[in-house]
Amino acid sequence: MKSRVSEINEHLTRPDLGRRLDEESENILRTKGVKEPKVQLIVADGLSSTAIESNVPELLPFLQQGLERAGLTVGTPVFVEFGRVGIIDHIGEIVNAESAILLIGERPGLATAESMSAYLEYEPRLGKTDADRLVISNIHKGGLAPAEAGAEILELVQKILKAKQSGVGAKLD
C-alpha cells in the first residue's frame, strides 16, 4: 500500500500526504481488509526503511501470535510506503478498528538508522492527534530489543483495550 506521497522529496516536504492512503490503497483495504478488528497492525517506512527491515521480521510475527493467543481479532496487516504516524488514523477509520499498532522507522540521524517506534491508539480515527497515542521508541538491537518491545506492546495494547482509552490522559492501571 502507498500513502498519497509519490516520491522521497515529497515525503520529506509534505508530511500531510504521508498521513493518508492513496485512493487505490484505500479501495483495496476497504474491499479486502478485515473489518472491525480489535487490533489493526500497520507497518510504515516513515523516515527509515532500514529500521523496518531490521526489526519487523522478528517483531511482527511475535505481535501477531501474541495478539491471537490473547484472543484478539487482528486486522489484515498493512504495509505502507512513505507513511507518517498519522496514517494510523486513516487506516483505523477505514477498517473501523478498536485499536491499532503502528510500527514506523524513526529519524535516521538520532542514534541509528535501525531505530523504530511503535505507536498505539484506541479508536484510531481521522482528527485524532499525537496526544491520543502512546509510543514506545528506540526499538532496535542496541536499544529496546524487538522481542522485549513486542512484550511491552502486547501488554500495553491489552491495557488500552481494557481501559478503552490511549494517549496522554489515559488511565491504564
Give domain status of residue 86, yes or no: yes
Question: Does 171 reside within a domain?
Answer: no
Q: Does residue 124 form part of some domain? A: yes
In a domain, 2, yes or no: no
Which residue spans within the chain are E strands per DSSP?
A: 39-44, 78-80, 99-105, 116-122, 133-139
Write out the residue range of the structural domain in which residue 16 sits: 8-163
Q: How many domains does the chain have?
A: 1
DSSP string, 135-146: EEEEESTTSB-H
The CATH number of residue 89's host domain is 3.40.50.11240
142 found inside a domain: yes
DSSP code, position 96: T
Residue 173 resides in a domain: no
CA dihedral over 97, 98, 104, 106, signed as positive or negative: positive
48 is a domain residue: yes
Q: Is 49 exposed, middle or buried (0-12, 13-18, 19+ CB in 10 A)?
A: middle
Rounded CA-CA distance 144/58 in Å is 13
Q: What is the pLDDT along the chain (173 residues), one digit of tens a residue?
A: 999 999 989 999 999 999 999 999 999 999 999 999 999 999 999 988 989 999 999 999 999 999 999 999 999 999 999 999 999 999 999 999 999 999 999 876 656 788 899 999 999 999 999 999 999 999 998 889 999 999 999 999 999 999 999 999 888 87
pLDDT value, residue 98? 98
Residue 168 domain-assigned (yes or no):
no
What is the model's pLDDT at position 45? 93
